[in-house]
Amino acid sequence: MIPKKSYRSPEVILGPDEGLDLFLNGRLKLIQSRDGYRFSIDAVLLSQFATVRPGDVVVDLGTGCGVIPLILLLKKPVGHVFGLEVQAELIAQAARNVRLNGLQERMDVVRGDFRHLPFDSGFANLVVCNPPYRKIKSGRINPDPQKAIARHEILASLDDLLRSAAELLTKKGRFALVYPAARLVEVFVRLRRFNLEPKRVRVHYPDLESSAKLALIEASLGGKPGLEILPPLLGQGDFSIRDCPDI
């Protein structure tokens, strides 16, 4: 079932504060704000990490400009993707990006808040999310609303996210997210509160001289205990500067 709030842009027009970028050797065309929120390496690494099985229905919570589901569609055997987003400007960008890349039949952009899901329970085989990392009282909040909402837990908490992911998933469905390595223990504890069992983790290091920055985590709804710790990930992983020149 496609939610009634699904939004499909009838045409691809750039706004005065937007630019068109090319990624993955030109395979991915992406409209982004010039000065507002732009996707980072976090989203790229998550799209690479998530386990996708042929025909999977995927939901991306907080899809932004749609970069994660678009990469998944171009590189993995996804059946259909729904990108859920609450910010109107980003919804418009994501919908145009779907059309720009000719993926209208395989991806829908849905307006909504993941605290109040517009999907049925058990809707998805895979849920992905690159959530806000920072607690509301930690660090300076960016004056740009798009950047602030993307970085701080302003609209929703980690528990809100995990509750929604658990509700969306089929039994043994997968939830993949990227989160700061420093909060890895907190994420593991909270995942289990929502019957999401951590199954795979891969830690990201910017380089060989730096401490871990990010952790890529995949959990299974109702899964059995047993955690696979994958080899460390350095820099941009399998994505080269040529693939993603602006990151």
Within 10 Å of residue 62's Cβ, how many Cβ atoms? 23
- pLDDT of 89 above 80: yes
CA 109 to mean position of chain CA atoms = 13
State the maximum Cα–Cα separation within the chain, in Å, rounded to a whole number. 51
**CA–CA dist 169, 53 (Å, integer):** 14
Specify the amino acid at residue 119. Answer: F
CB proximity list for 189: less than 8 A, separation 6 or greater: none
Q: Do 74 and 47 contact (CB within 8 A), yes or no? A: no
Residue-wise pLDDT tens digits, 211-227:
999 999 999 999 999 99
**CA–CA dist 94, 138 (Å, integer):** 29
Beta-strand ranges (E) seen in 62-118 are: 78-85, 107-111
The backbone torsions φ and ψ at residue 47, rounded to the nearest 5 degrees and listed phi first, read -65, -30
The backbone torsions φ and ψ at residue 200, rounded to the nearest 5 degrees and listed phi first, read -140, 140
Residue-wise pLDDT tens digits, 183-195:
999 999 999 999 9
Q: Which residue has the higher pLDDT, 146 or 15?
A: 15
Q: Where are the domains of the chain?
A: 18-173
| C-alpha Rg value of the chain to the nearest Å | 17
The backbone torsions φ and ψ at residue 155, rounded to the nearest 5 degrees and listed phi first, read -95, -25
- pLDDT of 247 above 50: no
- pLDDT of 14 above 50: yes
Report the pLDDT value the prediction gives residue 31, as an integer from 0 to 100: 95
Name the token pair of 75: 């590189």
How would you label 93-128 residue by residue, b for 16+ Cβ within 10 Å and e otherwise?
A: bbbbbbbbbebeebbbbbbbbbeebbbeeebbbbbb
Residue-wise pLDDT tens digits, 146-175:
444 444 344 568 999 999 999 999 999 999
Report the pLDDT value the prediction gives residue 193, as an integer from 0 to 100: 97
Helix (H) or strand (E) holding 167: helix 158-168
**CA–CA dist 190, 45 (Å, integer):** 22
Helix (H) or strand (E) holding 203: strand 196-205
Query: Alpha helix locations (H) across 175-235?
Result: 184-193
Class of domain 18-173: alpha beta
CB proximity list for 150: less than 8 A, separation 6 or greater: 37, 62, 64, 132
Report the pLDDT value the prediction gives residue 10, as an integer from 0 to 100: 52
Dihedral sign (CA 163, 37, 109, 126):
negative
